[in-house]
């Protein structure tokens, strides 16, 4: 039997989710991980890995890999 623990509100995933929700409130948000890394206190590599996870687990945001030119550009908007 598995027990699901509540997610830590200060976890890396929670910080990134809050940031994306806040920034996408007015519509679409396009960004490269390296440009928001300092804002969320994560490395660009951590952000990239979490974006894939968030795209599957955050129903109130539409998250997609939008383009790749020297680094992935992500597109985020409210669902």
Query: What percentage of the chain's residues is helix, strand, coil (to nearest 5)?
Result: 45, 25, 35
Q: Give the pLDDT confidence score for residue 6 in this predicted structure.
A: 46
Domains of the chain, CATH where assigned:
12-21+28-78 (1.10.10.10)
What is the spatial distance between Cα 2 and Cα 48, in angstroms, rounded to a whole number?
28
User: The pTM is what?
Assistant: 0.82
pLDDT per residue as tens digits for the range 15-58: 999 999 999 998 999 999 999 999 999 999 999 999 999 999 99
Q: Give the pLDDT confidence score for residue 41 in this predicted structure.
A: 96
Sorting pLDDT into bands at 50, 70 and 90, what band is 1?
very low
What is the spatial distance between Cα 2 and Cα 14, in angstroms, rounded to a whole number?
22
Report yes or no: 75 and 24 within 8 Å, Cβ to Cβ: no
- The encoded tokens of residue 76 equal 């985020």
């Amino acid at each position: 039997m598995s027990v699901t623990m509540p997610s830590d509100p200060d976890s890396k995933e929670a910080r990134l989710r809050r940031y994306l929700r806040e920034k996408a409130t007015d519509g679409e948000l396009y960004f490269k991980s390296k440009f928001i890394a300092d804002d969320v206190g994560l490395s660009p590599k951590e952000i990239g890995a979490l974006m894939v996870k968030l795209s599957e687990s955050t129903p109130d945001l539409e998250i997609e890999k939008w383009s790749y030119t020297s680094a992935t550009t992500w597109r985020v908007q409210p669902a």
